[in-house]
Structure 1
Amino acid sequence: MILSPLWLPATLLAALCQTWRTAMQQKLRGRLSVNAAGLVRFLYGAPTALVLLLGYWLVAGGTLPALTWRFLGFALLAGLCQILATNLLIMAFGYRNFAVGTAYSKTEAAQSALIALVALGENLHPLSWVGIGVGLCGVLVLSLAGRELTPRGLLAATVQPAALCGLGAGFLFGLTAVFIKLANQSLIGPDPILHAVYALFITNSMQTVIQGAYVAWREPAQLRAALTSWRSSSLVGVLSALGSAGWWTGFALAPVALVRSVGQVEMVFTLLFSRFYLNERPSRIEVAGALTIVAGVLLVVAGR
């Protein structure tokens, strides 16, 4: 059940911020390792999440929910899945360009819908399921850019390293969304938005400790690089926290599948960033795929 219309602008803001953050991470990839490039989103995102939490708390009031082992367990699982998904997404960029690498991960909308159906019992209007299918077709068009649209071409595109990394990232992002939803639901209180921002800060803090400890142990030079590149890395963290706040608010107010499906509009933002920020030229097929995704998003919203 949708609790508030705020889920839609929150999701659109999340998609925009995530696209911008991922584009900046792609540029950092030339200076930082996969793990270090993933770390900066949490290292600099946790302080931003704290500012968002305190700001919202001061404006809206209310009582911060108590920490429970159930909440911490789900938050930890969400954090670990997000770390692994982010690393796989960055790895996908190394095999194909930014737009196509992101396209593979966008199968997360369909994967999230199935995971949420099984794990949370969330079902959607038939028109929304049609929209998810249309959006998935758009993702396939993007991922098959430059290949023939045949079963053989689809198989060839699916088994390449970029596809496997992107599909794995999509699956883990789907699990992340479900665990975030469960973490939010385990908190007691009347304000789901306060719960979402609170859970974001706690999870980002745990992610900073986990991935920071790993990078310090395995790649100490990269940890120093993540700290010394703070001028660009900190913006990645800020955008990450803003985007995550949007996602987590959406998950608190609407079904996971609905939020993730509308979030596919990120592919339109991705093509714009790919063209004007990273100077990559999307092909006509990629533009057609993006428009197909938009059509799917409109169907999802119409069926809500």
Structure 2
Amino acid sequence: MLWIPFTLMAAFTQALRNAQQKQLSVEVNAIGVTLARFIWALPLALLYLAVLHLILPAQLPTFTTRFIASISAAAVSQIIATTLMVMLFQRRSYAAGVGLAKSEALLAAMLGVVFFGVILGPVGWLGIAAGSLAIWLMKGKSQPGTLDITTLLLGLGSGLCFALTTLWVRDACHQLPLPFMHSAAWALVWSISIQVILLVSWLVWRDRATLQKLLQRPSLVFRISLTSSIASLCWFTAVNLEDVALVKTLGQIEVLFTLFLSRHWLKEQVSRRDKAGLLLILAGAVLVIWPSLPRG
């Protein structure tokens, strides 16, 4: 049951982070916005890890080749996923961009079953199906009577990379013989370190102007990093405790927070399709957590 509150906290902080990334994407390119979510997250993650080991002492882990390979793949996949989602924000509204990227739940379920030995019951699959239908309703519109293939591919690509990220993170966490909170914290530190090194190196080499733009918005960049680090820590902990497909399907409740922020903060309109999708997402979330609820 612990995975449920971690997932809900992850969904809320991720919605808040995405809204702030949408704001920054007006001024900064996709790579720069992607770096904004990681650059301050590294010292925050290191601080959390140190405090965690101080309060709840545990042995220092040995990092196997499989752990390094899995967390490195997760780090790169998360960079690609975030970049594609920011590109979605630049083409579509915040709510539509998040909605398309949330295709990750169904993709995570399919990849988990095929490659990671995950077994889902019928109720869990029903919840995933409901959430997937909701995402289709909330994908937004391009021109009347047409489908914007580029936007759809960006959304599915982002969802696929987010799904792969969480599957690799779960695999990496399970390589560490530590309590679940400690293994999630170590995985977070490793992944963010890799991401910061890769992104900063790329921008120093090819696009120093973007780094300068980030330095001009220190408050917004810090808030993005803070909410991102909290969201990632909660996601990593949740997927360490439960199957990725179930965590990500319950995590679709993020769209509830997305719609609220879209309407009341970013002043975007909420359509009937969005509202219908919201109801399906809530139904899917209930179906996913139903087997975990206490009986009697």
**TM-score of the two chains, using structure 2 as the length reference:** 0.95
**Residue of structure 1 aligned with 2:6, choices 1, 6, 10:** 10
Q: Aligned to 1:182, which of 132, 152, 171?
A: 171
**Contact 1:93-1:162 at 8 Å conserved across structures:** no
Using the alignment, how far apart are the partners of 1:47 and 1:277 within structure 2?
29
Q: Deviations over 1:217-255 (max 9, x none)?
A: 111111122233221101100100000000000011111
Q: 1:278 aligns with which of 258, 263, 266?
A: 266
**Residue among 203, 215, 218 paired with 1:215:** 203
- The reply to whether residue 122 of structure 1 matches residue 107 of structure 2 is no
Which letter maps to 1:221? A
Distance between the aligned counterparts of 2:123 and 2:61, measured in 1?
A: 37
Q: Tell me, in whole angstroms, the C-alpha distance in 2 between the residues paired with 1:144 and 1:34.
A: 21
Aligned amino acid, residue 282 of structure 1: V
TM-score, normalised by the number of residues in structure 1: 0.92
Distance 2:215 2:91 in 1: 27
Deviations 1:97-141 (A, max 9, x none): 000111111110000011111121111121110111011111111
CA shift, 1:166, in A, is: 0.8
1:20 match: 16
Alignment of 1:42-191 (within 5 A): 42-144=38-140, 156-157=146-147, 159-189=148-178, 191=179
2:264 pairs with 1:268: no
Deviating more after overlay: 271-280 vs 137-146: 137-146
Structure 1 residue 242 and structure 2 residue 267: aligned?
Answer: no
Aligned-residue Cα RMSD (Å) equals: 1.5
**Stretches of 4+ aligned residues off by more than 6 angstroms:** none
Q: What do residues 254-297 of structure 1 show as CA deviations (whole Å, max 9, x unaligned)?
A: 11111011000011110001011111111122111111111111
Residue 33 of structure 2 corresponds to residue 37 of structure 1: yes
Output the CA distance in 1 between the equivalents of 2:140 and 2:202: 35
* Residue 144 (structure 1) shift: 4.5
Write the mapping of 1:193-212 to structure 2, written as runs, cut at 5 A: 193-212=181-200
In 1, the alpha carbon distance for the partners of 2:135 and 2:141 equals 10
Identical residues among aligned pairs (%): 34
Unaligned regions of 5+ residues in structure 1, if any?
none
3-state secondary structure, aligned to 2:227 = helix
| Secondary structure of 2:138's aligned partner | helix
8 A contact 1:92–1:101 mirrored in 2? yes
In structure 1, C-alpha distance between the alignment counterparts of 2:206 and 2:278, rounded to whole Å? 39
Match in the other structure for 1:301: 289
1:65-89 Cα distance to aligned partner (Å, 9 max, x none) = 1223221111110000000000000
Residue pair 1:125, 1:303 contacting (<8 A) in 2 also: no
Q: How far apart are the structure 1 equivalents of 2:155 and 2:143?
A: 17
Distance 1:107 1:139 in 2: 7
